[in-house]
Amino acid sequence: MKPAIVTSLLICVLGISAGQILFKQAALFGSTKHGLIEAWVLSPWIWIAGAVYFVATVLWIYVLRFAPLSVAYPFMALAFVLVPIASRLVFGDHLRPMQMFGALVIMGGVALTSL
């Protein structure tokens, strides 16, 4: 794959990962004054997350114009590595040793499938 396509793929993975963190923030956003659905609709986090997902989706479609799905899609697995790390940094989530080992296995799998 051309470097520009790989870069676009990585930006897409970062966008999807950031979107997950933003969705979690939206889930935490709320007030006892509002019902759950109303709190989510009023949450700026959910709108930002939706915008990030939209941009990532448009970029993904661009990538698919130039890369086979069978080659590009395994890169999306990197989100399973980035989201727990970001969740640890942003929300203080605990990462268990098996999760870290699993992340290494995923990274190895992505490396193998990109050869």
pLDDT for 26 equals: 84
Cβ atoms 36, 27 nearer than 8 A: no
% of residues, the chain, pLDDT over 90 = 60
User: Residue 59: phi, psi to the nearest 5?
Assistant: -65, -40
Q: What is the pLDDT of residues 1-46, one digit of tens each?
A: 789 998 999 999 999 999 999 999 888 876 556 677 777 777 888 8
pLDDT reading at 57 higher than 90: yes
Indicate the pLDDT class of residue 110, thresholds 50, 70 and 90.
Answer: confident
